[in-house]
Amino acid sequence: MKFTKMQGAGNDFVVVDAKNKRLNWNELAIKMCDRHYGIGADGLLVKLPSKKADFKMRIFNADGSESAVCGNGLRCLVSHYLDSDGNGLQDQITVETSIDIRTAKIQRGPDNATEIKVNMGAPKIGIKTIPVAELQQKSSLDIMSLMNRVINIDRKELLLNLVSVGNPHAVHFIDEDVMNFPLAEVGPEVERHKLFPDETNFEVVKIINRNKIEARVWERGVGETLACGSGACAIMAAGQLTGKLDNKVEMKLPGGILKVEWDYRKDNNIYLSGPTETVFSGEW
């Protein structure tokens, strides 16, 4: 089976054009994503035929669990579709996911360089995933009561901002350097906390200014990753609803820069842009 290794801001994936293959993708993800005995990746992206969109996307984490959506994975799979399927002149791509249809716009610059901007949909807030559209009628106090939860990890209180972007996220703002935060110790505790029966992704964020942040991500079913597209969108939602961020933000993660746009007063949808790269191709 042919595969392509791709990465977006260091968030890396094995990409397989499955066509109509019926395989145990959960088991294959564990084997293919193993960094010692397999190809090595944060996740497995499977491209399938779709009757509703240009193609269908499934994503499996390195532990074999399936995720509903992945922003960097979506951008990588769109790039793969453009490069390998003879669709390089398309300006807009539609992708079927397990929850809805996502749209990607192809922005071409000098020297035919392309940037892929994906519509990540409308975020939902809080444990009961209240749609953002409803929040336009609520006060900031109501928003905080829906979004904020405090948990205790090793006798230390963490204030979490709870956001869903198709998958769950817990965003924690800090004042110190994010690289000094003990993510390897705290991340697994937050991921598997009793507050989250389906577990959660966890982000630690430092605000540099209203248009720039630094962040690290602990991904559910993966561990720490160099970047996370859906995590970047969750950070944007939490930051803007708490009055910390403007509607266009540059996010510095260990693997690179992601750009996020959101203005829920005009458009509920969050938009994610950033780099993608084909690392190598091979045969499994």
Which residues participate in catalysis according to the annotation?
70, 228
Tokens representing residue 61 in the block: 């984490």
How is the chain split among helix, strand and coil, in percent rounded to 5? 20, 45, 35
- Ramachandran class of 155: left when φ > 0, alpha when ψ lies in -120 to 50, beta otherwise: left
- Ramachandran class of 3: left when φ > 0, alpha when ψ lies in -120 to 50, beta otherwise: beta
For residue 135, what is the enclosing H or E element?
helix 132-135
Rounded to the nearest 10 degrees, the angle between the axes of helix 140-147 and helix 229-241 is: 140
Tokens representing residue 228 in the block: 């996370």
Residue type, 22: R
Q: What is the number of other CB atoms lying within 10 angstroms of the CB of residue 101?
A: 15
CA 29 to chain CA centroid, Å, is 18
Cα maximum dimension of the chain? 56
Termini Cα distance of the chain: 5
